[in-house]
């Protein structure tokens, strides 16, 4: 009687363990995919940052980052060629 109850209880326990392992594996795979998607998003953002708008210095003709250039009435110049 007691043995029967134990043997009955063992099968669902094994099934529960397998189910737990499957759930853990699925959670692991989902987390890996989410991490990969986040990393891809980061590299895409870096790719956008790498190409910043540039302007041409009216004095020497060099192209430089717009945030570093000085803008004047006659156009942009690099900091070295700022008109006095
Ligand atoms: Zn210049």
Indicate if 56 and 74 belong to the same structural domain.
yes
**Ligand 1 center–CA 70 separation, angstroms:** 10
Closest among 73, 51, 49 to 63, alpha carbons compared: 51
State how far the Cα of 64 lies from the Cα of 70, in Å rounded to an integer: 10
Structural domain of 27: 1-51
**Ligand 1 center–CA 60 separation, angstroms:** 4
Indicate if 27 and 66 belong to the same structural domain.
no
Q: Are 56 and 76 in contact (CB under 8 A)?
A: yes
Match 């109850």 to its residue by tokens: 5
Structurally, the chain folds into a number of domains equal to: 2
Indicate if 3 and 25 belong to the same structural domain.
yes
| Per-residue pLDDT tens digits for 35-69 | 999 988 888 877 767 778 899 999 999 999 998 99
State how far the Cα of 80 lies from the Cα of 65, in Å rounded to an integer: 14
**Ligand 1 center–CA 79 separation, angstroms:** 7
pLDDT reported for residue 8: 59
State how far the Cα of 52 lies from the Cα of 70, in Å rounded to an integer: 16
1 confidence band (pLDDT: 50, 70, 90): low
């Amino acid at each position: 009687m007691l043995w029967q109850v134990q043997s009955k209880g063992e099968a669902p326990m094994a099934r529960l363990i397998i189910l737990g392992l499957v759930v853990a594996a699925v959670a692991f795979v989902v987390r890996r995919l989410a991490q990969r998607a986040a990393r891809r998003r980061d590299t895409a953002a870096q790719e956008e940052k790498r190409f910043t708008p540039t302007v041409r210095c009216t004095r020497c003709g060099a192209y430089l980052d717009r945030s570093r250039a000085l803008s004047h009435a006659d156009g942009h110049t690099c900091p070295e060629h700022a008109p006095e």
